């Protein structure tokens, strides 16, 4: 166990007692090679002003390391600097009290400045000093595996049609209770819920406008009431592409896309992340698009801006949340067999399929498989990444 740095307070003090013996001196000589006769030869020491053996100063000081490593701060401590003043000699048979006291804390660096002191049995101070100690943190903080997580609840926005439906069905098959967020077609949402129930899965459908705080609060409360919370968030909701040449565009076209793609994802993350942090486990997957990585598609400007913003938001969020056991990744589909490509002619769809190395368009189930991997325990070390699911027509 590593010491909780926040629990250490200025003024905290710990000490140990040690009686110095001849065997201690012998072991110190064997370890260091310091066989100065002042420390080991009584006849020589008697001929000096000290008149008796003087114990190595660093032998006494070494017990400060014992206090640091076992008492204050204890396990996970790294002694990084020290200044000593040796005030009196230590003799064989002396009983020493070795203590460390916290003088200052440096939160960002996780450093402690300590006062160090050694006092003998006559209450004489034989050594004083100050030092700095770094309090290490675990290399994998708050890691909780999927098997240890008792909350397997996924919110899928836009979860009733196309890619969202495939993701909802796949996560339900993998044992997640699924909260299907939709805004329009209640019949489609209810149909997905019915299909999940028929396969012995758990699901509810919630109508919510995720571009508003009220809609997000409604969605999150429904998930908490029905299933106890949210451990997986899949931001898949998307407005229709609505292609327009620039001269016909209004800012409202871009804003509408940003409201759904970016603002909705932002608000949902704000709502779900605090409890994920408390549990030390969470998965966020944002569905972006090939338009971010591929060649620009004329007239798709507003859609591409929103998807690119979502992708960049994801990478920064991953950097912020990684130490909390939360991963954030993107899945970037190529042209997929969904209603979003309804405005693209069949001829163009066939041409793109022929140009794709796999010779077909992406299926919603292909995207769902990538999401299923990213929310699993096997992907605990994958964060800040984008999985391209496009048949190889665009490569990273």
CB environment 227-238: b (16+ within 10 A), e (fewer): bebbbbbbbbbb
Phi, psi of 108, deg, nearest 5: -60, -45
Contact residues for 1 (Cβ-Cβ < 8 A; gap 6+): 75
Instruction: Supply the DSSP symbol for 248.
Output: G
Q: Which is it for strands 13-19 and 95-106: parallel, antiparallel or unpaired?
A: antiparallel
Phi, psi of 208, deg, nearest 5: -155, 140
Q: Count Cα atoms within 13 angstroms, Cβ side, for 276.
A: 27
Q: Is 303 noted as a catalytic residue in this protein?
A: yes
Helix segments in the chain, DSSP class H: 22-32, 37-40, 42-46, 57-70, 163-173, 186-198, 213-227, 251-258, 264-279, 290-293, 301-321, 346-355, 364-374
Q: Which is it for strands 326-333 and 386-389: parallel, antiparallel or unpaired?
A: parallel
With CA atoms as reference, report the closest residue to 151 among 284, 276, 235, 277.
276
C-beta separation of 144 from 279 below 8 A: yes
Looking at 63, 182, 303, 373, which residue is catalytic? 303
C-beta separation of 164 from 156 below 8 A: yes
Structure tokens at 84: 């000593």
With CA atoms as reference, report the closest residue to 192 among 167, 215, 225.
167
C-beta separation of 290 from 335 below 8 A: yes
Q: How far apart are CA 236 and CA 154, in angstroms?
A: 12
C-beta separation of 146 from 344 below 8 A: no
For the annotated catalytic residues, the residue numbers are: 303
């Amino acid at each position: 166990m590593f010491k909780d740095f926040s629990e250490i307070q200025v003024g905290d003090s710990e000490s140990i007692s040690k009686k110095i013996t001849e065997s201690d001196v012998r072991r110190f000589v064997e370890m260091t090679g310091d066989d100065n006769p002042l420390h080991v030869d009584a006849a020589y020491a008697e001929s000096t002003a000290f008149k008796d053996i003087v114990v190595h100063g660093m032998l006494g000081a070494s017990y400060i390391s014992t206090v640091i490593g076992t008492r204050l701060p204890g396990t996970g401590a790294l002694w990084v600097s020290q200044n000593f003043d040796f005030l009196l000699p230590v003799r064989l048979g002396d009983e020493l009290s070795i203590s460390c006291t916290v003088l200052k804390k440096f939160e960002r660096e996780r450093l402690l400045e300590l006062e160090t002191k050694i006092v003998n049995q006559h209450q004489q101070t034989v050594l004083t000093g100050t030092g700095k100690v770094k309090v290490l943190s675990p290399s994998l903080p708050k890691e909780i595996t999927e098997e240890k997580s008792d909350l397997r609840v996924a919110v899928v926005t836009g979860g009733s049609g196309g890619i969202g439906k495939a993701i909802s069905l796949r996560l339900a098959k993998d044992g997640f209770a699924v909260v299907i967020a939709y805004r329009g077609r209640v019949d489609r949402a209810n149909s997905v819920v019915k299909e999940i129930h028929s396969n012995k899965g758990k699901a509810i459908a919630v109508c919510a406008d995720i571009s508003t705080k009220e809609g997000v609060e409604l969605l999150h409360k429904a998930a908490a009431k029905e299933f106890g919370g949210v451990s997986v968030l899949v931001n898949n909701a998307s407005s229709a592409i609505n292609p327009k040449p620039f001269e016909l565009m209004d800012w409202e076209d871009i804003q509408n896309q940003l409201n759904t793609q970016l603002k909705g994802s932002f608000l949902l993350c704000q709502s779900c992340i605090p409890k994920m942090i408390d549990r030390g486990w969470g998965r966020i997957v944002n569905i972006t698009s090939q338009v971010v990585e591929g060649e620009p598609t004329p007239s798709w400007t507003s859609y591409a801006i929103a998807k690119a913003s979502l992708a960049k938001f994801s990478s920064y969020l991953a950097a912020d949340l990684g130490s909390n056991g939360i991963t954030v990744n993107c899945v970037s589909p190529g042209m997929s067999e969904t209603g979003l490509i309804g405005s693209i002619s069949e001829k163009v769809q066939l041409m793109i399929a022929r140009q794709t190395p796999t010779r077909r368009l992406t299926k919603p189930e292909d995207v769902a498989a990538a999401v299923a991997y990213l929310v699993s325990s096997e992907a605990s070390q994958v964060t800040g990444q984008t999985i391209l699911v496009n048949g190889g027509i665009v490569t990273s």
